[in-house]
Every structure is written in C-alpha cells, then in structure tokens.
Structure 1
Amino acid sequence: MTPPGDQPGFVPPPYPYDRLRELEPLAAAHEGGVVDLSIGTPCDAPPAFVLDALSSSGTERGYPASIGSPAYRDAAAGWLERRLGVTVAVDELAACIGTKEFVAGLPHWLRLRDPSRDTVLYPAISYPSYAMGATLAGARAVPVPPGPDGAPDLDAISADDASRALCLWVNVPGNPTGAVTDLGPAAAWGRAHGVPVASDECYVEFTWQGPRRTILEHGTDGVLAVHSLSKRSNLAGVRAGFYAGDAELVHYLSELRKHAGFMVPGPVQAAAVAAWRDDAHVDEQCGRYLARLDLLADTLCERDILAARPDGAFYLWVAAPDGDAWGLARRLAAEGGALVSPGEFYGPQGAGFVRIAAVQPDDRLELLARRLRGVG
C-alpha cells in the first residue's frame, strides 16, 4: 500500500543474500545438496556450560537491566582485560542485543544527539549494515576507500564530510576482507575532527596475524568498541553483545536505549557471563576455523582460483578470474554445490571478488573439496 502524499515512503531494498536464490538450483543438483558458504552463521555447538547457564538462571520473570547486570558488565570487562589488555571502567560499558541492532541503530541515536550532522562514514568494502544504518536514520552514507594496508584512507575524507559526520565506522578484523590494521590512526582522526569512531571488533578473537586489536588500546575518549558473542562463542541465536568506550557517549546511549526498551533477556545475560569468562572454547574454535580456511584455500588453488588464508576472521576474500564475481559464484555452485557471496554485496569496490565463509562442518567442506577435485 502506498503511503498518503505525493512521495512514496522508504522501500527496503532486497536483502543482499536473497539474491543468491537463483544459484540454489545449481548447487542443490549435487548429491548431498548445497554447501552454504554465503553467510557467516556459526555451525559448531556452543559450550554445554553456557547452555546450562541459559536454562537455569531463574531470571525469566523479571525485567532485565538494559545496561546489563553487574555480572554481565563485569564478565565483559574481564574479557577485555584478559584477552585484549585494556581496562574499562563500569560506566564505560553497556549491553546490547547482539551487535547488528546496535550497528544499524547508532546513526539514528547520534542524529538525535546532534541533528546538525547527517553523515555516516564507513569502509567502502564492508558489512552492509553500516550503510543501511545511515539510510534508516535518514542520513548520508559516505564510503571511505581502503588504503594500501586495507585500513580506511582517512585522507580521502573531505572536509565537508568530516564536518557533517555523525560517526566513522571501522572494522578489524575486516569483514569481508579479513584485513587486520592499526586502529590508532582512526582514533586520532576522530578526536581531531570531533567525530565519534565506532569500531566493530566482533571477529577479534579470530586474529591470525599479529596481536588482537581494539580501538580501546588507544584510549576511550571519543571511541566505542563493539563486541559480540555471536561469532566468538557460536551464540548468534541468543543475541548478546556490548559496547564500550567514551563514558559520556556510553551513558547517553544507554539512557536512550533504556527508554526504548532495548534489553538483553535475563537468561541470555546469564549465559553470556559464562561465555565471556571462558577462553578455552574459543581457542578450540580458532583451531577449527584455521583448518577449514586452509582446506578451502588449498582446494581452490588446485582449481587455479587463487586464495589465501586471511589475516583475520573466517572468510576467504577471493579475486574472481577476469573480475567476474557472479561467474565465479555460478562456477562454484555448478562444480561444487557451494553457495558463496559476490563481493558487490559489500560495496561496489568489492565487485571483482567473492566472499567464502568457512562456516560448514568439516564433513561438508570435505564433500565440497571432493566435488571440486572431481573425486567421488
């Protein structure tokens, strides 16, 4: 139904991954069916002790604290100190419902804070929700091209865009490229221009080259780090995360979110406490992803599709022969029964690549490898 008035209302664009349906019949024609490597949904079981905490907290009847329980925030802060080497005060950290809702909602909340600004800066090759968050807030989405090291080329940001910016998004390790870059320059740029810098660090545990990075190691003034259990602990279905950094900004956002009713459910908070406090299950998961990435990369290279282990995250970012990403996606569907994501899903500058997520069990990836090798 068309809204009243001369102008139509907002019409959501097609969800990028829905466009892969045309390739599903090609992939499904193989005995054993589709091997779906298109979306980064974890396939491995979360730890049993986390599920026990989820089912036995006794918190079902009461409203949970929007900011997160003291135990939730203490566990998250403890993880930051233990794994990333940064100390965050209790008033510099608050809960969020996973992180996608936070990513998509932040521009709207920042526009309420400062209506004079109307621009979201984000990496030109990136997760679609950074740009969509700007669109949903009625703001401008301005991509920042990557520099030689894969980090956003901050010198490419115009003075006008900087003066209008609500925030600058950064993402390390990067999705889809896997780039691991220094976050110090982004933090410094944000402070110099009075622009909050939001750092999406949901893949930080899966850092394969160099130390794990967080923007918080460069101080909390003017920055937010955003973290989630979805990838780290295979808990995408429970929706638990947090944001931490600038105390004034965290306070503003947590008060706004409290009024809007954003609350991580009590049982989920209890499960998250157990997950944030344990690292052994994450170390095991790291081993699984490394083995899967290597199997996929080796198999593709045998078929003259150049692929290499990324510096971080669990995706292969593969240049398509002749730059034809949809052609490579069709080839992998037809020859191996795999669904992969054309790079244009992550911005026009990614159009010559495909993203391949190492998120299927070992037996499914071995099946794919046999198909592509023409064995069995």
Structure 2
Amino acid sequence: MVSEPTHPYQTPYDPPPYPYDLLDELRAVAQERFGAVIDCSIGAPIDPPPASVIDALSSSNTERGYPPSIGSLAFREAAARWMARIADVHVDPVTQIGATVGTKEFVAGTPHYLRMRRPDRDTVLYPEVSYPSYEQGAIFSGCRAVAVPVDDQWRIDLTAIDPDDAARALCLWVNTPGNPAGGIDDLAAAAAFGREHDVTVLSDECYIEFTWEGAPQSILQHGTDNVLALHSLSKRSNLAGGRAGFYAGDTDLVQYLREVRKHGGLMVPGPVQAAAVAAFDDQQHVDVQREIYRERLELGLALLRAAGADVELPGGGFYLWAAAPGGDAWALARTLAERAGVIVSPSEFYGRRADHVRFAAVQSSDDLRTATERLTA
C-alpha cells in the first residue's frame, strides 16, 4: 500500500542560516579584544541546578530501559502539582499531560502533527516579534506561516488577524511572558479566539515564573478546550542540558499527540524524568533564581543605556528588548562586542525588524558590571 502525501511541498526547502551562528564574527572580535566573551545572545543558563536535581539524575536506576514517551506517572504528577501551585491550574496527570524532550522540538514539530490530524487547515499564526521556531515549525509542516502584528507593548493583536487567515488556521501560537520583548498577552482573549474560530491555541509559557508584572498566567486558567500550555525546566531550574518539559490541556489533543509522539520515538531519558520530579517539587531554587535574574536585568539596563539604547524592564522573562540608536541593531551589536565584549542578538532573528537587540540576562553580575565599566571608561 502506498500512502500519497496530503500536502506536498511546492518548492525544495533551503534551510536559512541558524540565527545565532551569524554572531560568530562578533564573538571572535570580543574574544580577541578582551580574552573572553560575555555572551548575552542566547538564553542559556549558567547557574547550577539544585543539588536534589543532580542527586535524582544520578540515582534513578532508570538508565537501562526505555522511558515512557508520555512521561512517567511520577513526572506527570509532579508537573500537575507544580501547575496547581504556581497558577492555580488543575489538570489530570493521567489524561491531560505529556512529556517533551525540551520544548523546542515541540514548537518545531507540533504543527506537522496537527496538520496530519486536520489536513483541511494550512495556516500557522504566530506573533510577528517572537521566537523564530514558531515560523520554522510552520514551514516544516508545509503550512503558511502568517505573522500576527503586535501592539506597542509587544502583545499579540488578535484583532489584526485577517478573517481569511483565521478560517484557514490550524493553530495559533501565543507566548507569555514573551520572548524576546517580555510582553504579557491576554490569554483569555487568545483562548476565546481559538474556540470561536475552531483554532488550536498553543501557549508557550516557559517563562511563567519570571513574570514581573502581575501574577503568573496560564491559558489553562481559562479552560482546557482546544488549548495546550507548554512548559520547560530549562529556564526555571537551569536544566537546559537535560531537555525536559511538558504540554498540558485539552484531553483529546493530549491523547492524540502522545500517541503520535510514541511512534516518533520522542522520549525524555529516564534519569532526566527523575530529575524533573525533584525540580518541579522544589520552589526555593526558583525564588532564588528570580532574584538573580532581576539583578542582572537591572545591570543589563545600565549597560544598554550606556551604549545609547532606549530600553525598559520587561513585563516578564529575562530578556531586555532595546531600541538601537539610529534604528541600527547590527551597529549596536557591534558596539557592544567591540567596546564591552558583550554579544547580543539583533532583532532580525525574531521577525522582520532591524531596530532592536535582545539582551539575555544570563551572564554573571560581575561580568555585566565589568562590561558597563568598559563602556563608560
């Protein structure tokens, strides 16, 4: 039996350069001038995970067998306890949660899985200033990638969605707190939009515990019908190298994705699942990390302003979204590399803009103070 493709690609896919590779030349400049790079281009944690997490990682005795693709029951129960604790959201760990191998693979792969479920829909909606994997996931699935405008607070503007695009939409991505700009979306409105237009809403909430304006928000606070929330341990627990996260929400969607992902062999390693249980159950280390990132954001603010940028603290997340002098993001990135040894990401990595840079507050406070001293000397 031959299975014919339901949505053949019209042209061959030519992968674009990976954005952060484009910064290698500036990294070399900083390395040559200062002997080290203060890399604030990527949100890669440098702080240690809790000792309890490392202990669980090394003592689970789960190395030999295949781990459950959907996540062990202990993993899913820990994720459910965490959601109830931080957002007053109550989901069934048996039927409404599935594990992810980190969350980037979920972002890039889920539109393809959803397209197989609904071949009549061919459009992925996502914020025009956002994490680049939303657009790439649409392209990987053979869908139309349609960027939705954001307002002057960097929040997705649902009223700007063309009715024809809404009618064709397979899914809508929202991201709160937002990466790169730290905006706080109206998740109730996003959930309502999805239900009105029969569009699955995928809510990337990986920075939920680094919300600075108001209480942490989850789309699941507005019901689970046709919505999924996506969460990660990479940021909250400094466990990006472990690759563990989860999705939760609509029971039918979760069941469908769990079965598809089983066939694809997507499994969080057993020792990492054990470590995740320890991480989800430990809130103290996150409270400490919040204070660390808050201090680094303040230091980054001083650094960027010393370079002439117009920048304010975000509503959430650990990034600063800075307007470049003269609207030239690459010029500001070069200035910071040449004069301070700091690497930041130009806004073209996150949409069709050339006038901002993103600063990730992931380097040590001492390094950020040193960088500012270099600029102001």
With the length of structure 1 as denominator, give the TM-score of the two structures: 0.95
Question: How many Å separate the matches in 2 of 1:177 and 1:63?
Answer: 39
Give the AA of the match of 2:317. A
Within the alignment, does 1:279 sit opposite 2:283 as a pair?
yes
Match of 2:341 in 1: 337
Match of 2:134 in 1: 130
CA shift, 1:14, in A, is 0.5
Question: How many Å separate the matches in 2 of 1:336 and 1:138?
Answer: 42
Unaligned runs of 5+ in 2: 1-9
Question: How many Å separate the matches in 2 of 1:240 and 1:288?
Answer: 22
The one-character-per-residue Cα deviations of 1:222-249 (angstroms, maximum 9, x if unpaired) are 1000000000100000000000011000
Q: What SS does the aligned partner of 1:170 have?
A: strand
CA shift, 1:8, in A, is 7.0
Unaligned runs of 5+ in 1: 1-6
Contact between 2:175 and 2:185, CA under 8 Å: does it hold in 1? Answer: no
Contact between 2:323 and 2:356, CA under 8 Å: does it hold in 1? Answer: yes
User: How does 1:360-371 map onto structure 2 within 5 Å?
Assistant: 360-371=363-374
Question: How many Å separate the matches in 2 of 1:345 and 1:12?
Answer: 14
With the length of structure 2 as denominator, give the TM-score of the two structures: 0.95
Question: How many Å separate the matches in 2 of 1:102 and 1:302?
Answer: 38
Within the alignment, does 1:20 sit opposite 2:23 as a pair?
yes
Question: How many Å separate the matches in 1 of 2:34 and 2:267?
Answer: 44
Contact between 2:40 and 2:363, CA under 8 Å: does it hold in 1? Answer: yes
The one-character-per-residue Cα deviations of 1:22-72 (angstroms, maximum 9, x if unpaired) are 222321233342111101100101111101100000111111111111100
Q: What SS does the aligned partner of 1:122 have?
A: strand
Question: How many Å separate the matches in 2 of 1:356 and 1:206?
Answer: 15
Match of 2:39 in 1: 36
Question: How many Å separate the matches in 1 of 2:252 and 2:124?
Answer: 20
What is the count of residue pairs matched by the alignment? 367
User: How does 1:1-376 map onto structure 2 within 5 Å?
Assistant: 9-90=12-93, 91-348=95-352, 350-374=353-377
Give the AA of the match of 1:36. D
Q: What SS does the aligned partner of 1:232 have?
A: coil
The one-character-per-residue Cα deviations of 1:305-355 (angstroms, maximum 9, x if unpaired) are 22222111111100011101111111111111111100010000x321000
Give % identity: 60
Contact between 1:104 and 1:132, CA under 8 Å: does it hold in 2? Answer: yes
What is the alpha-carbon root mean square deviation over aligned residues?
Answer: 1.2
Question: How many Å separate the matches in 1 of 2:309 and 2:70?
Answer: 47
Deviant stretches of 4+, over 4 Å: none
Q: What SS does the aligned partner of 2:167 have?
A: helix
